[in-house]
Structure 1
Amino acid sequence: MRVTVIGVGRLGEALVAGLCRAGMPADSITVIGRSVERTFEVAHRHGVRVADLRDLPDECDVLVVAVKPQQIEGVLTGLGSALHGSTIRPIVLSVVAGVATDRIEQFLPSVVPVIRAMPNTPMTVGAAITAIAPGAAATEHDLRLVESVLGSVGEVLRVSEDQLDAVTAVSGSGPAYVFLVAEMMIDAAMSLGLDRVTADRLVIGTLAGSSAMLGVGDVDPVELRAAVTSPAGTTAAALEVFERSAIRRTFQQALTVARDRSLELSGMMRPPLERISADQN
């Protein structure tokens, strides 16, 4: 399998690193980036190849688009031109937030399958949770191939594309919620008299250990919470404060707002009509 990654930011490089860790030969991976310096830096760090959007590799099974949303129109315009004049028909895997598969497909030959993915930043440590959704031309074979690529950096699950905005709110933005909890717990720990180093170690260790427990077996989070909560004990006293503060409703509102913003961005990302490829398929 040969993979080309367009975009050498954090997610693009994380995927390259994950593929290398999973045992994919470095000469089977190609990177394409806007910054020549950054592209060669990433290529040198991982031992992979470098190409240009106007000169795609002769063999490419999966072509990952990992650029910023504001850059995708230019990238897809160039990619569409390159693929219309090429015999290669890679799977185009987009990890760009807010851009639907049908909008990506407008720039490409109709025979090119498009799959959209929503990973999250734990990809950088090989612990991502990524949801994928197929476009019109994507087959079961295409989905399995993409799952093998993204599986190198974490867990992969399939959803329908109309669920991806909710996925964005839950897991795409989710790491920031966890980091906010860590930040608030550290601040609270210091207010109780602990020094910063001790507070950091206690909070980060607690969150890491608790997350590990969530991944073991089929134990429900409710059961895990109950197991820590003795009647009338310290944990119960703290949880009562959380419940009185309507924390559940706050989380519901926060995720709903994030979902709605993702929907709004999806609408804003529709390519201008003059950019849509004519039917050259």
Structure 2
Amino acid sequence: MESLLFSQRIASHKLNVRVRHLLRRCSFLFAGLMVAVWAIALPAEPIAVRHVQRPMRRSMVARSEDGRTIANGEFSQVVQGDEVTMRLTYRFVDGSLDDEETTFTQRGTLRLVRSRHIQKGPFFTKPIDFTVEAATGTATSRTTDKNGNIHLESKHVDLPNDLANGFVGTVLLNVPHDTKPFRVRMLAPVGGGRLVPLVISPQSEQTVYLEGQAIKATVFRIHPELSGIVRVIARLIGLQPKDVSVWVLEGDDPAIAVMVGQLGGYGPVVSSDLVGTSLGK
């Protein structure tokens, strides 16, 4: 009798262990499912225009992670009707170049027209010359062989309305500082052009000093969501985008003060600042 009761207790214990293990697995699966559902549920639509862009010119500086000045930059913005063309060029002390020119429209919502991004020189792991034409859905990569010959490779991509190549900063100027997390997409120069979702969310508020004046800023986090073949290809060719932090000055005329991340979403991490800007302690 005691032997039977002992066997029943052992069987009951094993059953309880299996049940707890099953419940634990179910909870993990449920949590993973909720994360996936949360990511899918994030809005991914064109951003409404809240602050109309105007012509401007700004001086920028890029610093390495240890604080050394590695490049001087110039930002310009030209407006013709509802069309805005912006260009950000960094010339590095080692002779490298980062040059990005983007045209978009601001008719109610922000819509990409075209974007071209060039990175070349010893600072960058891999040279980039990548153009996106939104109207035709054409992505073009330009490469130069060892003999100096230029090769063009074009690919058609079905582009979404929330594509934000080259003007993610402008997107941040047009969302409330307390916005809920949302998503835009970027066409990355991987495999001739691959769409990468960018999950954007406000993280905190911090004081920024611009020419000695204290201004409140919202810190946004931009998280690239790489998955599947895009992640594999990006790792193989050395283009692995990391999270980016952006400090946006609040007020009636918001502006990007500081960006810490990779220029264009790939390459080494740098701090890209408006000249005369410093972060509060």
Normalising to structure 2: TM-score of the pair? 0.21
Higher-Rg structure is 2
**RCO higher in structure (CA 8 A, sep ≥6):** 1
Structure with the largest fraction of strand:
2
Larger helix fraction of residues? 1
